A and B are shown apart, each in its own frame.
Chain A
Amino acid sequence: KNEVEQSPQNLTAQEGEFITINCSYSVGISALHWLQQHPGGGIVSLFMLSSGKKKHGRLIATINIQEKHSSLHITASHPRDSAVYICAVRWGGSEKLVFGKGTKLTVNP
Chain B
Amino acid sequence: GAVVSQHPSWVICKSGTSVKIECRSLDFQATTMFWYRQFPKQSLMLMATSNEGSKATYEQGVEKDKFLINHASLTLSTLTVTSAHPEDSSFYICSAFPIQGRNTEAFFGQGTRLTVV
Contact = CB atoms under 8 A, between A and B. Distances in A.
Interface residues of B, number: 23
Interface string A97-109: 1111110000000
Interface of A: 30-31, 33, 35, 40-45, 47-48, 50, 86, 88, 93, 95-102
A99 B34 CA distance: 13
Interface string B81-117: 0000000000101010100001111111011010000
Interface of B: 32, 34, 38, 42-46, 49, 91, 93, 95, 97, 102-108, 110-111, 113
Contacts of B110: 40-42
Contacts of B108: 35, 42-45
16 contacts: A30-B103, A40-B110, A41-B91, A44-B108, A48-B104, A48-B106, A88-B106, A93-B102, A95-B32, A95-B34, A95-B97, A97-B34, A97-B95, A99-B45, A100-B43, A102-B43
Contacts of B44: 86, 88, 97, 99
A45 B107 contact: yes
